[in-house]
Amino acid sequence: MRAAIVALAASSALTLASPAQAAEGVRCGFYGVDPGAPVDAGEVILDARHAEALARSGAGAARVEFRLDGAEAWDEEKRAEYDAIVDAVIAAGLEPVGLLSHRAARGGQSRWNDDPDGDGNNAYVEEFAGAAEALMSRFAGRVRRWEIWSQPNCFEDPDYALDPMNAGCTYILPRVLAQILGQIRARNEGLFNVDELSLITGGLLVAEDLAAPTSGADYLRELYDQPVWDALEARYGQRYPWSHLGYQMFIQPLGEVDEVAIAGALDEGRAIAEQHGDSSELFITGMAWAANVVGEELQAANLRTSFEFLATRRDVAGAIWASYRDAPLADLSYGLVGQNDAPRLALAALRDAAAGCEREDGGGAGSGPGASGSSGGSIGTSAPPVGDGLSGRPIDGKRRESSCSYAAGAPRGGGGARPDAGWLALLVVVGAVARSRGSARRSRRVI
């Protein structure tokens, strides 16, 4: 009986709107998908063939993670590697949404959360901000939106606040993330001045039905309370460096999602932002349901329900489905297609949700024929901590208005992505809960 009810609910949700009505008046770049790791062990995975497959899914944007992948620095060779990746995405008609996660700089959690003096600044922060400057300069005109970090509130150790250097997952101290964001703002003044750079705060993890559910609210409040914003406002006339608040929603992962649950997850963050004078739009940098947990029909229904509802909210600038193709880890099925590229109903659901969307010119030119190449962009050896010593000229002070990265696994052939940790480990937890609701597991490992 329950299976019949679920199937009926899924069928109803899939027929809520006709394709012709689904995305009318919504820009195509609103509908995004995560292709997985763009490069693995020096081999480019997100090539032209893979990018074209993403475009055929109905997506208008692709989340592209810039990762060192074993390199020591973002030297010319490494940046050139990403020239090909970004150009392939653009050539396929997709808008690249850049991601700088913990993989953008060397070292782990013990390095990025090393902050004994409590000012949020350290060698990792300066290296990360320097890498961001080099990459944002290099890809100016091709990548405008950049997500900074991914799931900063994700931890494994319940005592993470007492020992942040061993918190697990991708937890980063709010004051450290604030310094990263502030230094990126200070280093990229020229791009901000001409509105060629738009930051998304690292997608806050919002998860339900886990042993330790989280909304991200406490983390967001602490991020807003950082003194670095006083320095930014005094210098630039704009308090916060971001244009979008990032969210990664894994809500109601065991059944049918509803608009009330989605709205509740976002409205809490919106209220906190407004309390701090922030009118930034929201951006969903990841959401997913597993076909082998909720069933293929309900996965598709949840995808469509989510995209269609999010598209009706004027405060949401975009949303990204967490996986184009299944990853083999734990046999969880989050992809629009299986590991053998067999399409799921979710693939058609995304196409239907995005049908009728409005395409727009621009979005950056590739470095191929008839397009401009990459600018230099070098990594600074030392970045000043954000504070009284901010450099750069003030801007007009007006807020710009605008419409663990999951790396899906795949076989070697066919231009697919390779298995990766991504935010996959969180999804492993969801699967475990589905199999045993009584589990006391506390892991939130995502990236």
Spell out the domains of the chain, with CATH numbers in brackets: 27-362+404-435 (3.20.20.80)
| pLDDT over 80 (residue 386) | no
* Count of other CB atoms within 10 angstroms of residue 279: 11
| pLDDT over 80 (residue 212) | no
The structure tokens listed for 389 are 């010593």
- Of 3-7, 308-312, 374-378, where does the model show the most confidence? 308-312
How far apart CA 214 and CA 209 sit, in angstroms, is: 10
How far apart CA 109 and CA 105 sit, in angstroms, is: 11
How far apart CA 200 and CA 245 sit, in angstroms, is: 6
Closest-CA residue to 428 (of 403, 402, 447): 447
How far apart CA 83 and CA 39 sit, in angstroms, is: 12
- Of 239-253, 327-341, 365-379, where does the model show the most confidence? 239-253
- 446 band by pLDDT with thresholds 50, 70 and 90: very low
Q: What angle do CA 6, 12, 16 make, to 5 degrees?
A: 145
- Model's pTM, two decimal places? 0.80
- The mean pLDDT of 2-24, rounded to a whole number, is 44
- List CB contacts of 21: < 8 A, sequence separation 6 or more: 356
Contact present, 97 and 350 (Cβ < 8 Å): no
How far apart CA 213 and CA 321 sit, in angstroms, is: 21
* Count of other CB atoms within 10 angstroms of residue 313: 17
Q: Mapping DSSP to helix (H, G, I), strand (E, B) and coil, where does residue 271 land?
A: helix
How far apart CA 173 and CA 95 sit, in angstroms, is: 30
Average pLDDT over the chain, rounded to whole?
81
DSSP sequence for 403-419: ---------SSTTPPPP
pLDDT, tens only, 171-206: 999 999 999 999 999 999 999 999 999 999 999 999
- The mean pLDDT of 57-82, rounded to a whole number, is 97
The beta strand positions in 75-144, using DSSP E, are 95-100
- The mean pLDDT of 99-116, rounded to a whole number, is 97
Give Cα 362 distance to the centre of its chain: 22
Closest-CA residue to 164 (of 114, 217, 227, 107): 114
- 435 band by pLDDT with thresholds 50, 70 and 90: very low
| pLDDT over 60 (residue 92) | yes
- List CB contacts of 5: < 8 A, sequence separation 6 or more: none
